[in-house]
Amino acid sequence: MTHTPAELNALLERHGLQARRALGQNFVVDPNTVRRIARLSGVGEGTPVVEIGPGLGSLTLALVELGAEVTAVEMDRGLVVALREIVEPLGVRVVEADAREVDWERLLADHPAWHLVANLPYNIATPLIIDLLRDVPTLTTMLVMVQREVGERLAAAAGDSAVGIPSMLVAYHGQASVVGRVPATVFHPKPRVESVLVRIERHSEPPVAQPLNKIEPLIRRAYGQRRKMLRRSLAGVVGADVFEAAQVDPRARPETLDLAGWDRLACAIRSG
């Protein structure tokens, strides 16, 4: 039921459309790939799914094949017209909106827990995912397709070369892992980068004691000078006594510290 390359090209031509580089649009044109993505999302019969960036509905159709109840959020007005023609007869709810401006509480009010599936352009992927994790707790499972470097940062753990601020913020909210790769050859137009699939399972409770607003400023300050030892990047905020109480080596660099370590530092600051 998903689009073949010929069908997708015919749809673009019939509606006078083309991929918009400014919006980072690259359409998946391989039916086997979209079915694999749909399976990896973990959805099944009756699963409430919100899809961001459905384009012309290739992945949407694969999700419907699995029985999911899909709400598709698309900001490109030209695509919305074609998308509605394709998927609304199958029961999909199409919402014309920018995912960065959606009233998510209202949109997702019908169910207490949702799956998110999204094909995200690299320039908005990280801030959007962080905002959704922070602000939309009803999104309990995410499967996002992003540029490989972005995905590796989202899923990185302490000690990994790709670890950074996004890694720690994602780790506070959920468990992230790269679950698949998507070659450039399955897209139209063909991008210059490789994509990966990142699955994020939201924690039922925060994995550490301190709230994020106590931990995040430390992470951002330290990673702002990530080549420096923590005692230098956190000078004036964390003293020798705090490092000792938190059992954190002041000579360490930020990429070596896991979320539990940042939590201990924040706890020691508050206790001091």
Considering the domain 5-202 in this protein, what is its CATH number?
A: 3.40.50.150
Nearest to 58 by CA among 221, 191, 187, 246: 187
CB 216 within 8 A of CB 254: no
Q: What is the pLDDT of residue 55?
A: 87
Strands 27-28 and 187-188: antiparallel
Mean pLDDT of the chain: 92
Domain 212-271 in CATH 3.40.190.10: no
CB 237 within 8 A of CB 266: no
For CATH 1.10.8.100, list the domain ranges present in the chain: 212-271
pLDDT band at 166 (very low <50, low <70, confident <90, very high): very high
Q: What is the pLDDT of residues 64-89, one digit of tens each?
A: 999 999 999 999 888 898 899 999 99
Q: For every residue of 230-271, which 3-state class applies, written as one string?
A: HHHHCCCCCCHHHHHHHCCCCCCCHHHCCHHHHHHHHHHHHH
Nearest to 199 by CA among 241, 146, 160: 146
Q: What is the pLDDT of residues 191-217, one digit of tens each?
A: 778 999 999 999 999 999 999 999 999
pLDDT band at 141 (very low <50, low <70, confident <90, very high): very high
Residue 35 exposure: Cα atoms within 13 Å on the Cβ side: 8
Q: What is the pLDDT of residue 113?
A: 98
Residue 252 exposure: Cα atoms within 13 Å on the Cβ side: 17
Q: What percent of the chain has pLDDT over 70?
A: 92
What is the reported pTM?
A: 0.91
Q: Give φ, ψ of 130 to 5 degrees.
A: -60, -45
Q: Give the C-alpha separation, 200 to 173, whole Å.
A: 9
Instruction: Output DSSP code: residue 91.
Output: T
Q: What is the pLDDT of residue 4?
A: 67
pLDDT band at 190 (very low <50, low <70, confident <90, very high): confident
Q: Give the C-alpha separation, 133 to 90, whole Å.
A: 29
Q: Give φ, ψ of 24 to 5 degrees.
A: 65, 35
Q: What is the pLDDT of residue 20?
A: 57
Cβ-count burial 59-74 (b if 16+ within 10 Å, e if not): bbbbbbebebbbbbbb
Task: Return the SS3 of 53.
Answer: coil
Torsion of CA 7, 11, 16, 22, to 10 degrees: -80
For CATH 3.40.50.150, list the domain ranges present in the chain: 5-202
Q: Give the C-alpha separation, 30 to 79, whole Å.
A: 19
Q: Give the C-alpha separation, 11 to 29, whole Å.
A: 12
Mean pLDDT of 110-124: 92
